[in-house]
Amino acid sequence: MSARLAGTLGGMDVLGDVIGAMRAGRPHAALRTRRGPWGLHFPASAGVGFHAVLAGSCWLLPPGGGEPVQVSAGELVLLPHGRAYGLADHPATALVEFGSPAAERRQEREGTAGPESVLLCGAYLLDRERTHPLLGRLPEVVRLAVAGTPAGTVVELLHGELAGPLAGGGTAATALLDTALLYVLRAWYGGQDAVTGRGWAAALTDPAVGAALAALHEDPARAWTVAELGAAGGLSRAAFARRFGALVGEPPLAYLTWWRLTLAGRLLREGDEPLRAVARRTGYATEFALARAFKREYGTAPGRYRTERRAASAAAAARADGRAAG
C-alpha cells in the first residue's frame, strides 16, 4: 500500500466503510488440497470470491471465457463481480460444479496422478443493489502477489485458523476475512495511482478529495456543504467541486446522498432501530424525509425493504452454509 493511501485513509477508513456497508451476510472460507486432475466451476452469485494459492499452482478460467491465467504459490486472485468462473489444475481439465458434494468427492478420489495444490478460498456475500464504485469498477480479475505483504500475513493467519480447530476459530476467521478483503483492495488501489490519474484509485490518493471522502464517511449525518468539504481538503469550493467531480464522477453532495441512503439500507437490514433513529444517523431531519428519499432510490418503502432483505440474506446464508458443509 502506498504511503499516500495510508495517510489519506487514516481514522474512518473509506475502504473498510464500504465493505461494511455492502456486507449482506457472514463471509466463508475453506482450505482445499487437491491433486490433479481436478477442476471446479463456480456459478454466478451475489458474492465476491478469492483464492490464495498456498502451495503448488492452479489455472483460473476467467469470467466470460477469457484466456486462462496460471496462479502460483504466493499469489491471490479476487473475483469481484459475482460472475461464473473456473479453477483447475490445467485449462483442459473437465470441471465439476462447486457445491455438488458427490461430484467433488469423486473427483478428489480420482485425483492422484498430478501435483498437489493447496488453496485458501473465501467468499463474501454482498448487497449488489448498492454496489459501491470502489468494487463495481474493479476489473473482472484482481491478481496480486501477496507473499510478504500485509494481505499475505492475513492469509497465513487464516490458514492457521482454518487448519484448527482452535477456540474462537469461527469468530477469528470472519474478522480475518474482512481484513483480507480490505488489504487486497488497499494493495490494488494503492498500486494504481502510478498508472492512472482518474477514478477511485486517484480519488483515494488525492490529498483534497481523499480527505473530504474520509470526512463525510466519518460523519455522514452532518449537514455538509461543498465549501466545508473543500475546506477539509484545503481547496476552495469551486476548485474542490471540479476536482471531486473529475475523479469520483459525480458532484460531492450527490455522492453524499448516495452514501447516506446506502448506510440507511445497511441499518435497516442489520438492525432494529426505528426509522426515525435511522434518519438521524443518516442526515435526514425526519423519518418521513428519509422514507421519501429511500423510496425514490430503492423503489420500495423502508419497512418493506427491511423485511425482504432480511429474508433474502437468511436464504443466501443458508445456501452458503450448505456449500461450506459440502
Calculate the average pLDDT of the chain.
86
Give residue for cell 504511503: 3
Helix, strand or coil, per DSSP, at residue 134:
helix
The three cell numbers locating residue 11: 481514522
Instruction: Select from 250, 248, 203 the least CA-distant residue to 9.
Output: 203
What's the pLDDT at 325?
43
Hey, where are the domains in the chain? 3-192, 199-308
29-83: per-residue pLDDT in tens? Answer: 999 888 878 999 999 988 899 999 999 999 999 998 889 999 999 999 999 999 9
The whole-angstrom separation of Cα 206 and Cα 45 is 34
pLDDT at 237 over 80: yes
**Torsions phi, psi of 54, nearest 5?**
-90, -30
At the second CATH level, the architecture of 199-308 is Orthogonal Bundle (1.10)
Give residue for cell 510478504: 148
159-200: per-residue pLDDT in tens? Answer: 999 987 766 667 888 889 989 998 998 888 877 644 455 678
CATH of domain 3-192: 2.60.120.280
Give residue for cell 455438488: 100
Sign of the Cα torsion 301, 223, 131, 30 reads negative
